[in-house]
Amino acid sequence: MNCDDFRAHLHEYFAEELPALEAVGIDEHAAHCQACGSLMSLARELSCRQLVEFLHQYLDGELGEEEMAVFDRHLAICPDCTAYLDSYRKTMKLSAAALLSGRVTQPAEPLPEGLVRAILEASRKDRR
Amino acid sequence: MQAAAARLPFAVLEPIMAAFERVNYPPTTAHSLRSPAAASQIGRVEDSSMDSIETTDERELVDRLRRREEAAFEHVIRSYGGRLRAVAFRLLRNDSDADDAVQEGFLSAYRAIESFEGRSLLSTWLHRLVINAALMRLRKRSRWQETSLEEELLPAFRGKGVHARHLSRWSETPDGAAERTELCTWVRETIDQLPESQRTLLILRDLEELSNQEIAELFDLTPNAAKIRVHRARQALRTLLEPRFVSER
């Protein structure tokens, strides 16, 4: 296995979808090639699932320095997580923008007179 | 209803409310909610300092509410009711439920006014009471428990935790005003398709601008659990928004 093959099959390797023999090839290549070995270590350091699960803490700056560095290293090698992070940020912005613009376009009307009277009447009953 | 009012730990919520009320109800807004007639009704004295007018007004108003003065209660209902009903309607999407939630919220306030310590604005306190009343109604609905749909909308992984499929970078959001308006309308409609509990969380966080701490109190969760729920609601919305921003390959 060469470096290109290694990179091409790394996702399938971590998805556990590679035939056993090819998976062994990945392990052997990582053991002998320094660059691919480092990539393998980084990929093992934090899974995509873990990154996505704790993404809100990463964005809110609630992780420790070392954890932040681990997240950054994962993002540097994982286009899927980078795309996820970008789309998650866009989702946050769109949600707030859409909901707030809805409030502006639908101004509050005065409370219906019947409801004002019903609340007052209920409070009178409550007092009795 | 007494029990409903007692559910809210006011002493805990009030300092938190104080921190957020400037966003929700800036002083000018609270002031503008009062009609001149209503202002004279509560014995407002002209003063050069807007802040002190607010403080005096509010304290007086609360004192009158504590004395169970109906005129003061009516003033509060008329001043804040419209806006609070809009809050309830956004959560409940039903006129009669929104009316009931507003009524319950005001009655909770009427009964629990003794526990209002003035560390937040009255309007902020009422806002939380109406939200609490609306949440109690929402929880009774069958759509509240949609755990299977919630699961489906979460990101999927395979094997040792890699993404189940490759993700593409989203296209940029449009710059033009008309396109943005159309996009916002579509996003609101998409939020409405979320399971009720997730839709509610996004409205409380992004529209009513409640903190995770306040959401935790309202949902009877730890602050960390509340954060995770909001995170999942955003992940679910991301899943529903994705097709629009990813071109077919």
| Secondary structure letter of residue B114 according to DSSP | G
Digit-coded pLDDT (tens) for B17-32 = 444 443 444 333 333 3
Q: What does DSSP assign to residue A63?
A: S
* pLDDT tier, B55 (very low <50, low <70, confident <90, very high otherwise): low
B93: tokens are: 């999407």
**Residue-wise pLDDT tens digits, B156-183:** 999 999 999 999 999 998 888 899 999 9
- Which is more confidently placed, A89 or B49? A89
Which chain B residues have a beta carbon less than 8 Å from that of A94? Answer: 173, 183-184, 187, 241
**What is the sign of the dihedral through the CA atoms of A120, A125, A127 and A128?**
positive
Under 8 Å CB pairs connecting chains A and B tally to: 164
- For Cα atoms B167, B168, B171, give the angle at the middle one, nearest 5 degrees: 145
Per-residue confidence at B112, pLDDT binned at 50, 70, 90? very high
Instruction: Give me the pLDDT at residue B201, please.
Output: 96
Number of H helices and number of E strands within chain B?
13, 2
Does an H or E element contain B157, and which? strand B157-158
Would you list the DSSP string of B173-236?
PP-SHHHHHHHHHHHHHHHHTS-HHHHHHHIIIIIS---HHHHHHHHT--HHHHHHHHHHHHHH
Place of tokens 């809805």: A102
Task: Choose, out of B80, B130, B167, B246, the residue to mutate when testing the contact with A (most A CBs < 10 Å).
Answer: B167
Nearest residue of A to residue B71, measured between CA atoms: A120
Contact A94 B166 (CB under 8 A): no
Spatial contact of A25 and A2, defined as CB atoms under 8 Å apart: no
Contacts with A, B 98-127, CB within 8 Å: 99, 102-103, 106-107, 110-111
pLDDT tens figures, B177-193: 899 999 999 999 999 99
Q: How is residue B204 annotated by DSSP?
A: I
Residue pair A120/B102 in contact (Cβ under 8 Å)? The answer is no
Strand, coil or helix: what is B155? Answer: coil
Cα A120 to Cα A29: distance, rounded to the nearest angstrom = 78
Q: What is the DSSP letter of B153?
A: T
CA of B231 to nearest chain A CA: how many angstroms apart?
6
**Closest residue of A to B68, CA-based?**
A127
Q: What is the pLDDT of residue B248?
A: 62
Residue corresponding to tokens 């912005």: A93
For residue B161, the model assigns a pLDDT of 94
- C-alpha to C-alpha distances, A57 to A54, A62, A100, nearest whole angstrom: 5, 5, 24
* Nearest CB partner across the interface for B85, out of A47, A91, A108: A108
- Residues B210/B218, Cβ–Cβ less than 8 Å: yes
> Which 3 state secondary structure label does DSSP give B163?
strand
Q: Which of B90, B110, B168 sits opposite A126 (nearest CB)?
A: B110
Q: Express each pLDDT in A46-78 by its tens digit.
A: 999 999 999 999 999 999 999 999 999 999 999
Cβ–Cβ gap B181/A101 under 8 Å: yes
3-state secondary structure chain A: CCHHHHHHHHHHHHCCCCCHHHHHHHHHHHHHCHHHHHHHHHHHHCCHHHHHHCHHHHHCCCCCHHHHHHHHHHHHHCHHHHHHHHHHHHHHHHHHHHHHHHHHHCCCCCCCHHHHHHHHHHHHHHHC
Q: How far is CA B212 from the centre of its chain?
A: 12
Task: Give the confidence band of B8 by pLDDT, cuts at 50, 70, 90.
Answer: very low
With CA atoms as reference, the chain A residue closest to B164 would be: A15
What pLDDT, on the 0 to 100 scale, is given for residue B9? 42
In contact, A47 and B160? CB cutoff 8 Å:
yes
Chain B, 60-79: which have a CB under 8 Å from a chain A CB? 68, 70, 73-74, 77-78
pLDDT band at B215 (very low <50, low <70, confident <90, very high): very high
Residues of chain A with pLDDT under 70: 105-107, 128
Interface predicted TM-score of the whole assembly (ipTM), two decimals: 0.88
Q: Is A62 helix (H, G, I), strand (E, B) or coil?
A: coil
Average pLDDT in chain B:
80
pLDDT for the residue numbered A103: 80
The residues, ordered by sequence, that sit 6+ positions from A104 with a Cβ below 8 Å of its Cβ are none
pLDDT at B37 over 60: no
Grouping H, G, I as helix, E, B as strand and the rest as coil, residue B3 is helix
Q: What is the pLDDT of residues B222-234, one digit of tens each?
A: 999 999 999 999 9
Q: Do residues B165 and B243 lie in contact, with contact meaning Cβ atoms separated by under 8 Å? A: no
Confidence at B91, pLDDT banded by 50, 70, 90: very high
